[in-house]
Every structure is written in C-alpha cells, then in structure tokens.
Amino acid sequence: MLHTPHQPEITHTFAGFHSEKQPTQPRKWSVSTCEPAEVVDRALHALQQAGVQLIEWRALLYKRMNVPVIVKDFSYAVPDDELEGASSILTDIGLIQPPASPLLAQTEGDMHNMGRHYLVTTYTTLSSSQQIILYPLSYTSLQHAELIKSIPSHITNSRCSSILIPRPSAVYASLIRMMLRYPQYCSTRTVLESDISELVGYHLLSMDDGYADPEDDEEWEELEVDNRSSEALQLVRQWSVDEEWREGEEWIGDALAAILNGTGDIGCLPFRSS
C-alpha cells in the first residue's frame, strides 16, 4: 500500500490561489481596545506578578475615604528600589509616556514632577488623557508598618487579589509630613492643603458637600457641624491613644484636633521656612 504524505489544509482565496490555513491567534490586548480601568488592571497584574509592591495613593485612596473625587488618573507608590523595574514592565507591556506638561509641572509642582506617567488611553491631550502614575514610596513618606491589605478599587473583579493601602491616620500624617518640605506659598503645598481640606471635610466630618460656612449659623446648625467635629475629635484622639503616630510626631494629632475644634487652620500647618 502506498502512503501519501500528509497534505496541509488548503483554502481558496478569491483570486483563485491556494494558501495554507493559519491557526487563529488570540488577540493581543492594547490600550486602543480596552477601557482605561482595564488597562490599569492588566498593568497592575503584570507588576504584581513580577513581585512589585503597589500602594494605592491619591485619588483612588481619597475615594475610599469618602471624597467624591472623579478618578481620572490612577496613582500608586512603589518602593524606591523597585521603581526602575516597574517602569520597565509598563514599557514592555506597551504603555507609553505622555508628552511633558509644563502647565502641570507649574500648577502641581512635585505632585506632578515626582511621578512617572504612563498613558492608559489613546488620547494624549491634557484634558482627555488618563494615566497610571508611579511615585517613589519615599516621596509619600509612608512606611510599610502603616500599610494594610485591601481589595483593589480601580475596577470590579480585578485580576489582583489585593492592594496595599495606608491606614487613615497614616494618610493624614503622610500629607502633613510632606508639607514640611515646602515653603508656605508654593504649588505643591497648595495641592497638599487642598487634599487635606477635602479629607477633613468628607472623611473626618462626613459632610456631603465637604464644607460648611462658619459664618452661616443656620447652615452650621442644620449640618450639625459641632456634633460632627466632636465625633471626629474622638477619632483623632483615639489614634493618639493607639499610638498610631510615629515617635516624635504626636503633634500631628494635636494639629488635626486644632483644625477640627476651630483653633487651628490647615494653611497654618508647619512649612519650610527657607
């Protein structure tokens, strides 16, 4: 019996030529075919698979703390010695860095300059683009002892089983500690003051609008601001009792208490004098 060699499967093209049928390849994902949160999820999963520690920061973190922020950019802190490797991974999976933004560099200062920015949209304009931003952990002044594991908040049903977040007291301490690096009137400090103000209003005082006019007695009474302040003071004092401040930084609890009871002001928090 004669054996004929195996013939490849042949398909006919419209021009009458023959060609081998190619196996179907799984479609590779890209920024252009995924929603921004999906791109972020794939990026975070790749980073975690490589052993990179990710700490949720800024907008996503504030949203957890009841600030009704619209999450445009996705910020994470990364241990300093893992930052270069993390940046390479984002480049390897196809994320690109946006054009430099002199406007944001001027208006946000180091809150923009210290981050490594990668586009998660096909848009590159300042108004339309969205980014994943990696910051060196040292810039946030956070320490690992202040972090806890939580469910990721950037997307539902994430590929990542958990993400690190700072406990609430550490968020305030981090921002106030960062303010010490800057003069009283500069763009970076202005951003930090705004962040603390929103956190105090929405998180500590649990106000729907995050603010009540102290000159409007009717509004003050209607919103029960005095009761809210009293409850917030109890929480901050409990943080002090639980020794959640670092040694030598107990004054941070006192400063927050002063802001809550009206004897202090966020704009008067310590700053760099020169």
Residue 19 β-bridge partners: 11
User: Within 13 Å of residue 5, how many CA atoms lie on the same side as its CB?
Assistant: 2
The model's confidence at residue 25, banded by pLDDT at 50, 70 and 90, is very low
Residues forming beta bridges with residue 133, ordered by sequence position: 75, 117
Express each pLDDT in 35-86 by its tens digit: 999 999 999 999 999 999 999 999 999 999 999 999 999 999 999 999 999 9
pLDDT at residue 18 is higher than 90: no
CATH 3.30.460 residue ranges for the chain: 31-166
- Residue of higher predicted confidence among 24 and 218: 218
CB neighbour list of residue 124: distance below 8 Å, 6 or more residues apart: 98, 99
**Mean pLDDT of the chain, nearest integer:** 90
What is the DSSP secondary-structure string of 57-99?
ETHHHHHHTT------SEEEEE-GGGHHHHHHHHHHTT--PPP
Please tell me the pTM assigned to this model.
0.87
215: left (phi over 0), alpha (psi -120 to 50) or beta: alpha
Query: In this structure, what DSSP letter does residue 132 have?
Result: E
Closest CA to 56 of 118, 182, 140: 140
**Type of residue found at 29:** W
Q: Is the pLDDT of residue 127 over 60?
A: yes
Provide the residue type at 6 as one letter: H
CA atoms within 13 A on the CB side of 177: 18
**What integer pLDDT is reported at residue 268 of this predicted model?**
92
Closest C-alpha to 51, from 81, 91, 93 = 81
- Domain 31-166 fold is Beta Polymerase; domain 2 (3.30.460)
Share of the chain above pLDDT 70, in %: 90
Q: In this predicted structure, what is the pLDDT of residue 126?
A: 87
